[in-house]
């Protein structure tokens, strides 16, 4: 639902790294139903997070979304994190 997506988007920009990582975990558990452009874009932003764990969680979540992650910048950031 839109309310859940809005809450997750807010959690993804929380100042606490555990909250940001938890939001990634929630997206992975709920799955493709939440793979809106806004969620995928925010996960892409988290690939550049200052916290290693948050970056790793974002990578784990983005992988299964495959074709939905068509943005060149997002793919570039994912490759950069994996290097």
pTM for this structure? 0.79
Residue position matching structure tokens 């997750």:
8
> pLDDT at residue 49 above 90?
yes
> pLDDT at residue 67 above 80?
no
Q: What is the DSSP letter of 15?
A: S
As a whole number, the mean pLDDT across the chain is 83
Q: Supply the pLDDT for residue 68.
A: 56
Tokens of 73: 């910048």
Please report how the helices 52-65 and 17-30 are oriented relative to each other, as an axis angle in degrees rounded to 10: 20
């Amino acid at each position: 639902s839109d309310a859940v997506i809005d809450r997750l988007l807010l959690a993804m920009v929380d100042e606490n790294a555990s909250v940001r990582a938890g939001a990634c975990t929630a997206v992975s558990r709920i799955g493709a139903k939440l793979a809106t452009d806004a969620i995928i874009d925010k996960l892409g932003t988290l690939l550049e997070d200052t916290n290693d764990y948050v970056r790793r969680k974002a990578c784990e979540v983005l992988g299964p979304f495959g074709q939905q992650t068509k943005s060149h910048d997002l793919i570039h950031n994912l490759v950069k994190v994996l290097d």
